[in-house]
Amino acid sequence: TFGSASAADLVVGFSQIGSESGWRAAETTLTKQQAEERGIDLKFADAQQKQENQIKALRSFIAQGVNAILLAPVVATGWDEVLQEAKDAEIPVILLDRTVDASDDLYMTAVTSDLVHEGNVAGKWLADTVAGKPCNIVELQGTTGSSPAIDRKKGFEQALSGHDNLKIVRSQTGDFTRTKGKEVMESFLKAEDGGKNICALYAHNDDMAVGAIQAIKEAGLKPGTDILVVSIDAVPDIFQAMAAGEANATVELTPNMAGPAFDALAAFQKDGTKPPKWIQTESKLYTQADDPMKIYEAKKGLGY
């Protein structure tokens, strides 16, 4: 079609945060796939978790004169200056997966899920499931200070407010990793009377939940029954756990942020259509009722 023909000459720079988790690897893979399908020349830069590297990459993209920039910002603050530079150079910037604290005329659109909303969905599910029974919750936070950790905590707490039966009894960081998730869960179990006091686990990502599930099993309890497990991301491994009845629910964070972004970009290139400032991806809730094995098979190949 006409749209994709003009897209063929597009050079798009993509500043990715890093490769710290399976989810992010999947996002990178999907972005590359999407670009290839559309014939876009994607310039990829990995910032290794460092904002300074992202700013450098953006500056390089600008100096290189790319047609558009995708940015998955590692942190919300500190983007005004470089975004202004991009604007001065008339290069549209699309934010992926997280937003920034900058005036919204500095970027074209943001394709993100709502991190607070994700936490909220998880919290709502839990509130509905325990239905008024008293429930002690332990929380595995993401990396201290990272925006998903802060927002997913906030959203979850919002959902809990007004439900006096739900109480977060312990909250520690599991650094988004399986190992720490397991280690921290072990100490939660010890600290809460061998786990008898715990009714539910909320993990800021699936990896930590997978680690924690093992810890629960090793403590002689049944995850999913004795302790409810709800987490966020919807990576393939959690579906396996759900199929085995060891996890209860997960909130999807789709790794395909680039698709909508490229669509918006193509529309803008074609006739100058301005996309809305925020393209929100769906935060879909999956539970054991959703045929987890099938979803696992579907997601397996995506590079998680």
Partner 1 sequence: MTAILRGYALRLLPQLIALAVILLMVSLVFPGFFRLEIQNGRLYGSLIDILNRGAPVVLLAIGMTVVIATKGIDLSVGAVAASSITSGHSLAMTLVITLGTGLLCGLWNGVLVAILDIQPIIATLVLMVAGRGIAQLVTEGAILTFNDPGLIFLGSGSFAWLPLPVIIWLVFGILVALIVRKTALGMLIEAIGVNRQASTLSGVLTPVLLIAAYMLSGLCAAIAGIIAAADIKGADANNAGLWLELDAILAVVIGGTSLLGGRFSIAASVLGAIIIQSINTGILLSGFPPEFNLIIKAAIIVFILVLQSPPVRNAFTFVALLRAGRKPTEGQAR
Partner 2 sequence: MKPKYLPLTATIVIFVLSYALCVMQYPNILSTRVVGNLLTDNAFLGIAAVGMTFVILSGGIDLSIGSVIAFTGVFLAVVLENTGIHPLAAFALALMIATLFGALMGAIIHYLEMPAFIVTLAGMFLARGMAFVLSIDSIAIKHPFYGTLKGFYYKLPGGGRISLIGGLMLLVFAIGILIAHRTRFGTDVYALGGGTATAKLMGVPVGRTTILIYALSGLLAGLSGIVFSLYTSAGYSLAAVGVELDAITAVVIGGTLLTGGSGFVAGTFIGILIQGLIQTYITFDGSLSSWWTKILIGLLLFVFILMQKGIVYASRSKQRHA
Identify which range of 61-69, 123-131, 214-222, 255-263 contacts partner 2 by CB under 8 A. Answer: 61-69
Residue 39 near partner 2 by CB under 8 A: no
Residue 205: how many CB atoms within 10 A of its CB? 31
Q: Which of residues 149-178 bind partner 2 (CB under 8 A)?
A: 150
Q: Dihedral through CA 171, CA 175, CA 179, CA 182, nearest 10?
A: 10
Between 88 and 164, name the residue whose CB sits nearer to partner 2. Answer: 88
Residue 16 near partner 2 by CB under 8 A: yes
Q: Report the alpha-carbon distance of residue 126 to residue 249 in Å, rounded.
A: 9
In the complex, which residues of this chain contact partner 1 (CB under 8 A)? 19-22, 24-26, 28, 141, 144-145, 170-173, 175-179, 182-184, 186-188, 190-191, 193, 207, 210-211, 214, 218-220, 237, 240, 303-304
Residue 172's binding partner among partner 1, partner 2, none (Cβ under 5 to 8 angstroms by kind) is: partner 1
Structure tokens at 291: 């045929």
233: Cβ contacts below 8 Å, ≥ 6 apart: 23, 205, 206, 207, 250, 251, 252, 253
- Report in angstroms how near the CB of residue 25 gets to partner 1 at its nearest: 3
What mask, x for binding partner 2 by CB under 8 A, covers residues 110 to 139? ------------------------------
Helices and strands (H and E) in the chain: how many: 11, 12
User: Which among 126, 103, 117 is positioned nearest to 148, based on CA atoms?
Assistant: 117
Q: Report the alpha-carbon distance of residue 159 to residue 294 in Å, rounded.
A: 29
User: Which among 41, 32, 74, 38 is positioned nearest to 55, based on CA atoms?
Assistant: 74
Q: Report the alpha-carbon distance of residue 299 to residue 202 in Å, rounded.
A: 23
Member of 4, 6, 19, 273 binding partner 2 (CB under 8 A): 19
Residue 50 near partner 2 by CB under 8 A: yes
Q: How many residues contact partner 2, by CB under 8 A?
A: 39
Instruction: Tell me which residues touch partner 2 (CB under 8 A).
Output: 13, 16, 18-19, 28, 42-46, 48-53, 55-57, 59-65, 75-78, 80-81, 101, 143-147, 150
